[in-house]
Amino acid sequence: MKFWLKIFTYSIVVFLLIFNAASILVIERNHSKLLNRAIDDALSQNRNIHSSVNAIVPTVLIYDSDEYEQKVLANIAQGFVGKVGDRGVYMTIRNDKGKTVYNNADFEMPADRSGPERTKEDEVAYILRDIGKRTILFTSNSVQINRNHYAFTYMKDMTSVYRERSDQYVFYLKVNLIACSAYMLLMFVVSRRLTLPIHRLNRTAQYIAAGAFSERAASRSKDEIGVLADNFNAMASVVEDKIKDLERLNREKQLFIDNFTHELQTPLTSIIGYANILRTGKIDQAQLLEGLDVILSEGKRLESLSFKLMDLIQLERFEFPLKEQDFCAVLEEIAPALEMKARKKQLSIDMYCENARLRLEKDLMKVLIFNFVDNAIKASSKNQRITIRAARQGEHYVLEIEDEGVGIESEHLDRIFEPFFMTDKARTKGNHGAGLGLSICRSIARLHNAEISVRSEPNRGTTFIVAFRPGGMRL
């Protein structure tokens, strides 16, 4: 059963229960009041009759005649009934011998009359009985005159009281039909409007499940459903971001595999080709040395590629503990190796370092600095300078490696940290490069909560900037 139909059904059931119970309670309460009022009135009239009979007892005792006292009692009853003037009022007088002294009832008296007529003196009893299609209230009391006992039964037709209750039930049924019809129509509209946001939310969920991850649920209210829609949209945004990240990672992995396969293909082709020539062909000493040189060079390229791939895998797979280190001391430890590498190409290195203690993994930080400087050396020409600066800039501690080399074209700046991406493939391969150095630097920077940026102009040099975020340094 749909949610809107549940709301509609349950509300109708609750309305019917409450409305019917309240209506029945009101009708029965009114009926009870009218009935009690009529009974009290009948009992009061019976007592009045009893008082009138008691008033004439002394007179009747003087004559001491059964015929006279019965005539007097009949006159009292007739006068009393005529005084009331109600067609629904009846009265009977019977003595203890079963003789009827007075009776104006227009219906047959019930055979069993022991209940209301067997009463003590000064006691009034009453009973309701159905006579044909009418309901009659019987009230009785007894009086002793001389040696005779008389039972006075005052009767009142209560059919109108019960008819009034029946009429009220009929009226209630008509009102109930009208009220229920109107309420059902109203609740149909209300339940559909209440559940419309849920329907929209469900439809949005179906769109998202079908692949429309940018779809969002409309949120116009501030109630629980509106809050649910907002939370659903927030969840959908997170899911969309995660899916985009997964798609990006899949593209990067596929690109990595494609580039890796391509990088392997060239040196393996050269090695296999020259090895086949050396194995099968007749060659002189010069050709032999040339082939061995190619095999050695391509083998070194594969060795460098394997080492850097292992570094990249370890950086992604393992966690490295960071300890507080003096950054300048780390830079000084690697300085001799950098200067020696620069001298081979007749380059000079200038270093400036502002004291600071950072949370580092020292060996990884050396790899990061070495890779940046190595790239700077490869990009530089004879007699050019490479500058290494480390100093505080605002809230960050910033490491800069600047060269005066060939620079990088602006269209390549966004891709230089991709694995295997090389702006100058011929020069990089000549130095046994594989385009993994900057990818390794980016992974190391992430481990140290740092961000890498780059500035470069063709033929005017490149500056790599590593900004360590606050919280992991102490100056």
pLDDT recorded at residue 433? 46
Q: Report how far residue 194's alpha carbon sits from residue 309's, in angstroms, rounded to the nearest whole number.
A: 59
Pseudo-torsion of CA 300, 304, 310, 311, nearest 10°? 160
Which has the higher per-residue pLDDT, 264 or 39? Answer: 39
pLDDT recorded at residue 466? 92
Q: Is 147 helix (H, G, I), strand (E, B) or coil?
A: coil
Which has the higher per-residue pLDDT, 358 or 87? Answer: 358
| Per-residue pLDDT reduced to its tens digit, 92-103 | 888 877 788 888
pLDDT of 431 above 50: no
- Find the range with the poorest average confidence among 104-118, 159-173, 180-194, 274-288: 104-118
pLDDT recorded at residue 467? 92
pLDDT recorded at residue 398? 92
Q: Report how far residue 347's alpha carbon sits from residue 402's, in angstroms, rounded to the nearest whole number.
A: 13
Long-range contacts, stretch 118-127, CB < 8 angstroms, 24+ apart: 119/151, 122/50, 124/43, 124/46, 124/47, 124/50, 126/39, 126/42, 126/43
Q: Report how far residue 20's alpha carbon sits from residue 8's, in angstroms, rounded to the nearest whole number.
A: 18
pLDDT recorded at residue 430? 47
Lookup: tokens for 346 = 């007749």
- Beta-sheet pairing, 348-353 with 385-393: parallel
CB neighbours of 201 closer than 8 A, spacing ≥ 6? 217, 225, 228, 229, 232
pLDDT of 232 above 60: yes
Q: Is 264 helix (H, G, I), strand (E, B) or coil?
A: helix
| Per-residue pLDDT reduced to its tens digit, 113-142 | 554 555 566 677 888 888 888 888 888 888
Q: What is the mean pLDDT of residues 164-179?
A: 90
pLDDT band at 427 (very low <50, low <70, confident <90, very high): very low
pLDDT of 251 above 80: no
What crossing angle do the helices spanning 66-84 and 3-63 adopt, rounded to 10°? 140
- Find the range with the poorest average confidence among 149-163, 169-183, 249-263, 423-437: 423-437
Of the spans 237-251, 393-407, 431-445, which averages the highest pLDDT?
393-407
pLDDT recorded at residue 298? 74
Q: Report how far residue 367's alpha carbon sits from residue 436's, in angstroms, rounded to the nearest whole number.
A: 12
pLDDT of 464 above 60: yes
pLDDT of 399 above 90: yes
pTM of the predicted structure, to 2 decimals: 0.47
b/e sequence 412-439, b meaning 16+ C-beta within 10 Å? eeeebbbbbbbbeeeebbeebbbbbbbb
| Percent above pLDDT 90 for the chain | 10
| Per-residue pLDDT reduced to its tens digit, 361-371 | 887 888 888 88
Q: Report how far residue 378's alpha carbon sits from residue 401's, in angstroms, rounded to the nearest whole number.
A: 13
pLDDT band at 29 (very low <50, low <70, confident <90, very high): very high
pLDDT band at 260 (very low <50, low <70, confident <90, very high): low
pLDDT recorded at residue 43? 85
Q: Report how far residue 5's alpha carbon sits from residue 262's, in angstroms, rounded to the nearest whole number.
A: 63
pLDDT recorded at residue 42? 84
pLDDT of 28 above 50: yes
Which has the higher per-residue pLDDT, 328 or 344? Answer: 328
pLDDT recorded at residue 475? 44
Please provide the DSSP assignment of 173-217 as one string.
HHHHHHHHHHHHHHHHHHHHHHHHHHHHHHHHHHHHHTT-TT---
pLDDT band at 350 (very low <50, low <70, confident <90, very high): very high
Which domains, from first to last, does the chain contain? Answer: 3-165 (3.30.450), 213-318 (1.10.287.130), 319-474 (3.30.565.10)
Contact (Cβ atoms closer than 8 angstroms) between residue 465 and residue 453: yes
pLDDT band at 106 (very low <50, low <70, confident <90, very high): confident
pLDDT of 432 above 60: no
Ramachandran sector of residue 394 (left: φ over 0; alpha: ψ -120 to 50; beta: rest): left
